[in-house]
Structure 1
Amino acid sequence: MATGWAGDGAVQDQIDATVKDAIKRVRSQLPSGAGRSHCEECEAPIPEARRKAVPGVRLCVTCQQAHDREQEAFAGYNRRGSKDSQLR
């Protein structure tokens, strides 16, 4: 079946590349090394249960949530562009 300029499986290749990029980005952000007993930003104590659950933890829950909200702005991008650009 003719698909224009895209080769067979091009859409799936784009999806796979997007997923791989997202996994790579998230893995690069995982904490490593020894965890901290107090938050890096606000110096609040980090509970023992959190330190055991998240190896290498550096932030308390409140600061981690704020950090996660900031990161959402850079969560991903659209490889395909807008529909209008494809129609021109």
Structure 2
Amino acid sequence: MATGWAGDGAVQDQIDATVSDAVQRARQQLRHGPGLERCEECDAPIPAARRKAVPGVRLCVTCQAAHDDDQRAAGLYNRRGSKDSQLR
């Protein structure tokens, strides 16, 4: 049941879009290929144990932690709270 200008499936469409965005973000984070021996950000050596544990590793632990913090902050975006996505 829709109210106002929203279509009948508007809420479900918004939920589906949020889930789709999360799946796409997760797929982009999957690593492929052999890992690097040196960090592509700071050029620090990446230990063999890390390369073995994390296939396709490209960053050292320090740079990866900073990257994860940035990704976490981007994931906190609330689609429903955005004025650009208000149901009309």
State TM-score, norm by structure 1.
Answer: 0.68
Q: Is the 8 A contact 1:22 1:76 kept in 2?
A: no
Q: Give the direction of change, closer, same or farther, for the CA distance of 1:2–1:65 in structure 2 (3 Å limit).
A: closer
Q: How many residue pairs end up in the alignment?
A: 84
Name structure 2 gaps, 5 residues minimum. Answer: none
Q: Give the direction of change, closer, same or farther, for the CA distance of 1:22–1:43 in structure 2 (3 Å limit).
A: same
User: Greater relative contact order (Cα 8 A, min sep 6): structure 1 or 2?
Assistant: 2
Runs (4+) off by over 4 Å: none
Q: Deviations over 1:1-26 (max 9, x none)?
A: 45332233321221111110121123
State TM-score, norm by structure 2.
Answer: 0.68
The two structures, once aligned, show a CA RMSD in angstroms of 2.6
Q: Which residue of 1 aligns with 2:8?
A: 8
Q: Which residue of 1 aligns with 2:56?
A: 56
Higher helix share: 2
Q: Which residue of 2 aligns with 1:67?
A: 67
- The percentage of counterpart residues that share the same residue type is 76
